[in-house]
Chains A and B, each alone.
Chain A
Amino acid sequence: MSLEGFEVAVVGAGPAGSAAAITLAREGVQVLLVERGTFPGSKNVFGGRIYSYALKKLLGDSWKDAPVERFVRKEGITFMTSDNAFSVEFESKDAEGSFTAKRAKFDKWLAEEAEKAGASLITESRVDDLIMDGSRVRGIVAGQDKIPTDAVIACDGTTTGLARRAGLTSMLEPNQISMGVKDVIELPSEKIEERLGLEPGQGAAHVFIGACSGGLRGGGFLYTNQDSLALGMVVGGDDVSSHKTQSYSFMEKLRQHPKVQRFIKGGKTVEYDAHMIPEAGPKMLSRPYTDGMLVAGDAAGHLLNNGYTFRGVDMAIQAGVAAAQTVLEARKKKDYSANSLKTFERKLHEDPALKDMYTFHRVPAYLRNRRLYTVYPELVCSAAEAVYRVDGTGKIKISKQLRLQAKGRVSIFTIIRDLIGGARTF
């Protein structure tokens, strides 16, 4: 393939990159989509779920060709001590709101959609540098190839290589990252449905908070694929480092819990995955654009963990589209300066889906409160234990029991403060 004559280079064929490439190629822009893996998705890891709306908006009816594992109909959360579990479940009537997927299939499929739209995809190509002309980005350098373009859209993931090169960020702080690890555990689909209480073909998502993270900022997750469970842990980068506990060790803590054991029993672990998650939100870059370049997806903090929903792929798609639209406007004006590209930031703030990132901007700080991972899960479990125990020794009212259980663990004032803080944050 000749690497000349491209107007825009999109770096990284993940959801942000492919969405950007689709949007540009449809308008007749000559787009080069560059992926370092042997195929799109081969380097990518996530928890397991994609919210459908972004895909519907991007692809219309063709979104139905997406490689869906299961549509999620059941949401669950478990507060756990090492041997107790207090779970809440919600059954959604929305049949297609979100689905589980495997990135090696999903990202590959979305990149193929980009190719269908007219984008050129090259794989096994690592972008090492930007072609710089002062502060103006004028293309990319991939191995021996210098590829000049009018604009670059950097969707190169959490490590933010190109944004750093362009001076849009220095290195992230350890408390701005988390480490995610995951086991993919094969199980027959009937077993999955039986254990999670699902109708054939339906899926579940479950979150675990408490003992599994050993008191550190973090938690566990479980997503159902068609014939496997994606079971994983996410722990804070600062906590893991300062507590001198190996990040992967939490995987075993989670697996050994009796509740989790019942889910995975007899399963066969077939893959182990890991991924670094940026937790700082969009403020991890000073701005997501510079002369000749835009940044979208994980690389720009376009994702959201608000403690109960974990959104990466939908946000990345929306941000990729917004970046592409910004480039289309710049192309009309024939002006790719930072001043021309700054409308990207307004689009991010105005996009009904992406503005959630700004609405929940206080969440990362709130989630650093250790009590969320220690005292409160213990409190919920021990109170439940006491409430449900009937042993003839006499019962007290629930409100009194809660106060009794809190005693010595956490003051009522602290609880109230955390609740008010929570109400303001979420």
Chain B
Amino acid sequence: MSTEESLTLDKRLALVGFSKDAEPFIVVDTDKCNHCESKPCLYICPAEVYAWKDKLNYNTEGCMETGACLIVCHKIGAGAISWKYPSGGKGVAFKLG
């Protein structure tokens, strides 16, 4: 991979190790998001867990567990996100962090 060129987020996320947690550790009350003007989760998340297409969609599989979405959602956004860490041993695993 030649990396002087720009790297897309998808390419970046493909470099991160994840172990899927069967239990949902992020739950969003997406009805609330329909009335959210700022939608800060879309911007703070470094892994694009949140995306807007007519309504809020979220995919926890690429979650890097920073926890920042919870803060911006409750302080700037609609207070729709419930967040906890994935179960022990599940979720993201960094090797070079």
Interface residues of A (CB under 8 A from B): 36-38, 41-46, 102-104, 123-126, 128, 142-143, 158-159, 161, 171-174, 177, 179, 181-185, 225, 228, 230, 237-238, 240-248, 251-252, 255-256, 261, 264-276
Contact = CB atoms under 8 A, between A and B. Distances in A.
Interface string B1-37: 1111011010111011001000000000000000000
29 contacts: A36-B85, A38-B89, A42-B95, A102-B96, A125-B88, A143-B87, A171-B70, A173-B71, A185-B3, A225-B96, A230-B96, A238-B76, A241-B72, A246-B42, A246-B45, A246-B48, A251-B7, A255-B4, A256-B6, A261-B4, A269-B7, A269-B11, A269-B15, A270-B96, A271-B15, A271-B16, A271-B96, A273-B64, A275-B66
B43 A240 contact: yes
B94 A273 contact: yes
Interface residues of B, number: 46
Contacts, number: 163
Given A104-B96, A159-B67, A276-B67, A241 B38 contact: yes
Contacts of B6: 252, 255-256
Which one of A41, A261, A268, A276 has the greatest number of beta carbons of chain B within 10 Å?
A: A276
Nearest to B19: A38
A339 to B, nearest CB: 32
A168 B80 CA distance: 23
Contacts of B12: 183, 248, 269, 272
A248 B46 contact: yes
Contacts of A245: 43
B37 to A, nearest CB: 11
Identify which of A173, A228, A269, A274 gathers the most chain B CB atoms within 10 Å of its CB: A274
Contacts of A246: 42-43, 45, 48
Given A103-B94, A237-B68, 16 more contacts: A38-B89, A45-B94, A45-B97, A143-B87, A171-B74, A171-B75, A174-B40, A177-B71, A179-B44, A183-B7, A185-B3, A255-B4, A264-B3, A266-B2, A271-B16, A273-B16
A276 B94 contact: no
A172 B73 CA distance: 12
B97 A102 contact: yes
Given A124-B88, A269-B7, A270-B15, A104 B97 contact: yes
A174 B71 contact: yes
A89 B40 CA distance: 37
Contact of B93 (A38, A161, A248, A251): A38
Nearest to A241: B40
A237 B72 contact: yes
A123 B90 CA distance: 11
B22 to A, nearest CB: 14
Contact of A173 (B75, B84, B85, B93): B75
Contacts of B1: 268-269
Contacts of A184: 96
